[in-house]
A and B are shown apart, each in its own frame.
Chain A
């Protein structure tokens, strides 16, 4: 992936936080907010501009689950696997999604539309089991609902191509 504005993007983020002590995680958050993940080029650029070894950037990136090193799909499906969701059948939902999309956890479909992610507690246990697609939350999902939910987005992706 080539991002032409990358150097300037990173500079604006680094400049914004440069006076704060312990700012690396904050900077990486901002970069991920912008690109949806932290591209290697951006990590290299952060390393250059902050005058920090690349290892220092990656030790943080790889420690925290929140940071993604691969580009996300067009639609990001997150299945909550918190305790309440687990007990109420989230594992079956994951099975179903795997079966329909032929992807494993953390993978994106070949066409780049869907990315399957398993998350630890979205903090809405009263609605268990919960799936989110992008920002949209689906609550009390049944195995038989999964196909419909995915179909909603597949149509979109065909339309908008």
Chain B
């Protein structure tokens, strides 16, 4: 039995798609194939803006830009012989590639047997065989770089700690995923806990650690539970504890809960938190690799990094190094969210373009609005406007554009999002989360936020824009830790790419996107108003009055510019200025 899934275009081509389906069905009937081929209208087959499109299962051929004249050939070649029809097949398709998420949704996360049946703990066995030096060598071949944000080569981090003398060494998994808008670490911890545990054990072999800590957000109770179950089962089967798998390697793991502090993503602050103290960062050097947890050499790796490690040791560093592009190998998981049609986690090989991620995989912008920019890297990252969407994704390429890879948040902004507002949001987050230890971050952030607030209220002067970038640069240079050094990034990158929007706020007292409520006003166009009164009913300020005959009007004095009347009017009678 074959299945034909036809993309429900649900809009522009609705009629054409229906006619195509009717025609396909009748031709199948004529040839007596109705009982052998099932045709279905599918809400989403993952192809966008390519006219009428369909997918044939089980072969998985995808055909695009179809017309009725193509039907006989599809029946003849594909449905009867299982061959692909040239010319209409979808070309240059970009796919996801699952390495980090390889087992998520595939295995039972609480079953060790299931994980082992999917090549689990083979990397550990191999690492025990190879010994520390060769494990590091393998990692070097893979070219894996830290997935937490900065992109420091993992092998180098391990090698430094390996070389340091110490009775006791530690490895910590940073699962304190704090970037608002990113949740890949949670998915891996919940969906495939053993891959991270295995990765940590391999790291421990490489650096000679005897103890490991999982530092996980308390807001992720299921992740904590799954990792704890994973640890318990490993102890019961001899995968943790003394003489693992009959070797001389002994290793213990315990969990420490985070308690809601973004700054604890910073290595030295995280260490303080594991020690049970306030999460204050401290100056570096000494780096944690030399002097970390309780003064001992410590390696900190991100969840996604460790999930990659177990894969690399199992499949070989060389094979991994071939994925992606030079300098940025492997895959990256992005949390694609915001104004995108399909939001969710996507894992793609490095080197894919931003456009492919958002338009091919994500299906484009929600409600077919115009895209404004893509924000990557969360509060430490920046915005990337449309002219750079063909940039291949990699650590350096994104940095050149004034953003960063970060932990993998990718937020789509559309024409209704305001550059000033979004940078105010991110900066507000960093000001809230600043630990207050160093003045550049504590004072600089607050001052920048005050200026941004002035701008969004239309009360700023032109000099404020220069002040904003001055403070931003001072913060970047003088802050103690990564939080303060990167906090100005969203502001600087919006200033770089959307200066005209800032100027519109400052000089014309207008918010072009209509987001900054003090700068927009609403009025009702009499000719369009039907007198339905919907706006008056939702108005929280009682600013709208009128009747069916007289139509409705907004009292500008009472209006609080909340925009509810604008959202609710079905006749576009409410206009925003």
Q: Cβ of A120: which chain B residues have Cβ within 8 Å of it?
A: 178, 180, 260, 262, 429
Q: Cβ of B64: which chain A residues have Cβ within 8 Å of it?
A: none
| CB-CB under 8 A for A66 and B181, given A26-B276, A87-B413, A128-B337 | no
Question: Contact partner of B276 among A24, A83, A121, A126, CB < 8 A?
Answer: A24
Chain A residues with CB under 8 Å of chain B are 20-26, 28-29, 59-60, 63-67, 81-84, 86-88, 92, 95, 99, 119-126, 128, 143
The answer, yes or no, to whether B183 is at the interface (CB within 8 Å) is: yes
Q: Cβ of B219: which chain A residues have Cβ within 8 Å of it?
A: 66, 119, 122-123
The answer, yes or no, to whether B386 is at the interface (CB within 8 Å) is: no
Q: Are B344 and A126 in contact (CB under 8 A)?
A: yes
Other contacts beyond A24-B276, A124-B183: 7, CB < 8 A: A22-B276, A25-B257, A66-B258, A83-B338, A86-B425, A95-B540, A128-B343
A46 to B26, CA, bound (A): 78
Q: Are B276 and A87 in contact (CB under 8 A)?
A: no
Residue of B nearest to A95 (CB): B562
| CB-CB under 8 A for A81 and B257, given A123-B220, A125-B337, A125-B343 | no
Q: Cβ of A23: which chain B residues have Cβ within 8 Å of it?
A: 276
Q: Cβ of B429: which chain A residues have Cβ within 8 Å of it?
A: 120
Question: Contact partner of B260 among A64, A86, A88, CB < 8 A?
Answer: A64
Q: Number of residue pairs across A and B with beta carbons under 8 Å?
A: 113
Chain B residues with CB under 8 Å of chain A are 177-183, 186, 218-220, 254, 256-262, 273-279, 294, 335, 337-339, 343-345, 375, 378, 409, 411, 413, 417, 422, 425-426, 429, 435, 540, 562, 564
Q: Are B260 and A84 in contact (CB under 8 A)?
A: no
Q: Are B256 and A26 in contact (CB under 8 A)?
A: yes
Q: Cβ of B378: which chain A residues have Cβ within 8 Å of it?
A: 83
Q: Cβ of B180: which chain A residues have Cβ within 8 Å of it?
A: 81-84, 86, 120-121
Quote the shortest CB–CB distance from B560 to chain A (angstroms). Answer: 10
Q: Cβ of A82: which chain B residues have Cβ within 8 Å of it?
A: 180-181
Q: Cβ of B540: which chain A residues have Cβ within 8 Å of it?
A: 95, 99
Quote the shortest CB–CB distance from B407 to chain A (angstroms). Answer: 12
Q: Cβ of B258: which chain A residues have Cβ within 8 Å of it?
A: 64, 66
Residue of A nearest to B275 (CB): A22
Q: Are A25 and B256 in contact (CB under 8 A)?
A: yes
Q: Are B181 and A125 in contact (CB under 8 A)?
A: yes
Residue of B nearest to A125 (CB): B337
Q: Cβ of A92: which chain B residues have Cβ within 8 Å of it?
A: 562, 564
A122 to B337, CA, bound (A): 13
List 8 tightest A-B contacts by C-beta distance, closest first: A64-B259, A82-B180, A65-B260, A83-B181, A22-B276, A66-B260, A121-B180, A84-B337
Residue of B nearest to A128 (CB): B337
Q: Are B411 and A83 in contact (CB under 8 A)?
A: yes
Q: Are A26 and B257 in contact (CB under 8 A)?
A: yes
Q: Are A65 and B259 in contact (CB under 8 A)?
A: yes
Q: Are A87 and B279 in contact (CB under 8 A)?
A: no
A133 to B422, CA, bound (A): 27
A95 to B517, CA, bound (A): 13
